[in-house]
Amino acid sequence: MSLGITPELAIVEENIPYDPKRRRNLAKVRRIRGYRPGFWVYAGLGVVLVASLFPFYWSFLIGSGDAYTLRDPNISWIPGGNFLANAAKVINDPAVNFWTALWNSLYSSFLIAAAVVLTSTLAGWAFAKLRFAGGSGLLVFVVATMAVPAQLGVVPLYILFSELGWTGSIGAIIVPALTSAFGVFWMTQYLRQSVPDELIEAARVDGASMIRTFWTVGVPAARPAAAMLFLFTFVGAWNNFFWPFIVLSPESPTLPVALSLLQANYFVDWSIVLAGVILATIPLLLLFVVVGKQLVSGIMAGAVKG
């Protein structure tokens, strides 16, 4: 105990055979538990926090003013009292079609994120824990597709969905995004480190099929990484503007496309535009609150693994 080892770690060290990798992981845990950040660490985190929150506060500051707030040379840094009125103008604007756009964004983003997590976890499990001919080359090919710009596929995709009669339909933005090369690579690397091969062999010896082994061993182990992937994919699908702007109709847009219509007039009222931006950001903030615990646990799990 004089060496700073907690009783739990001491018991673990006494009961496990000598393994350099495990000893290194225990040393990492001891350093993390015994480390106390100093003033400069908190100061740096404070600067990062202020820099991250400033765009959101600036949007709220302008969105709570009037049409001349942004042009005022003596602008006050205290928010005004017009935010609810500006938000009501955004919601009631017939050109924006706010509620339809909000539903389309929620619906499409959730389906895309759920599909990416499912397909990426299955593919990651196959690449990380199954042995088949050409597996390494296929993984390299999947990763290499991330270097291809998405803009190169816009014209063929539009022609394809036009032939299928899907232009203007929300399915036209969901189907091309059902899987992700980054998601496959992310889950492959995480499952390769977090699931020991001995655990899979033990499950197979006990008579579990590969599907059951994946469900009972792989899915619980992949939960933190899957939560992070769901969050990042949802945010990316929610903020996507380029492809929905091309393929969707003005009567059934997503929220970023709908909010762009607020800038279509000759005179742009930035207080209303930024009020709409705040409204579009609130669901993402709620999502971060809900998934935040899994996000932190996923980061800490990756930090402790060696």
pLDDT digits (tens, 9 = 90+) for 264-279: 666 778 888 889 889 9
pLDDT digits (tens, 9 = 90+) for 282-294: 988 888 887 776 6
Res. 13 pLDDT band, cuts 50 70 90: very low
Compute the distance between CA of residue 257 and CA of residue 241 in angstroms, rounded to an integer: 6
pLDDT digits (tens, 9 = 90+) for 197-227: 888 888 888 887 888 888 888 888 888 888 8
Q: Which two tokens stand for residue 292?
A: 């935040």
Q: Which two tokens stand for residue 262?
A: 């607020």
pLDDT digits (tens, 9 = 90+) for 61-103: 888 888 787 787 788 888 888 889 988 988 988 888 889 999 9
| The pLDDT value given to residue 30 | 57
Res. 17 pLDDT band, cuts 50 70 90: low
Higher pLDDT pick, 11 / 195: 195
Closest CA to 97 of 300, 290, 214, 258: 258
pTM of this structure: 0.79
Closest CA to 79 of 262, 214, 271: 271
120: amino acid identity, one letter: S
Mention every residue, 6+ apart, whose C-beta is less than 8 A from residue 6.
33
Residue 287 CA: distances (Å) to CA of 110, 123, 187:
11, 26, 21
What mean pLDDT do residues 250-259 have?
Answer: 88
Looking at the chain, the whole-number percentage of residues with pLDDT higher than 90 is 23
DSSP code at position 133:
T
Q: Which two tokens stand for residue 9?
A: 């770690």
Res. 11 pLDDT band, cuts 50 70 90: very low
pLDDT digits (tens, 9 = 90+) for 118-151: 999 999 999 988 888 888 889 899 989 888 888 8
Q: How many CA atoms lie within 13 A of 11 on its CB side?
A: 3
**Per-residue buried b or exposed e for 42-68, using 16+ beta carbons within 10 Å of the residue's own CB:** eeeeeeeeeeeeeeeeebbbbbbbbee
Closest CA to 294 of 227, 230, 229, 235: 227
Reply yes or no on whether the pLDDT at 6 is more than 50. Answer: no
| The pLDDT value given to residue 28 | 61
Res. 196 pLDDT band, cuts 50 70 90: confident
Closest CA to 256 of 166, 173, 180, 175: 173
What mean pLDDT do residues 182-196 have?
Answer: 89
**3-class SS of residue 203:** helix
DSSP code at position 248:
S
Looking at the chain, the whole-number percentage of residues with pLDDT higher than 70 is 82
- For residue 306, the tally of other CB atoms under 10 A from its CB is 13
Q: Structural domains in the chain?
A: 92-304 (1.10.3720.10)
Reply yes or no on whether the pLDDT at 260 is more than 90. Answer: no
Reply yes or no on whether the pLDDT at 18 is more than 80. Answer: no
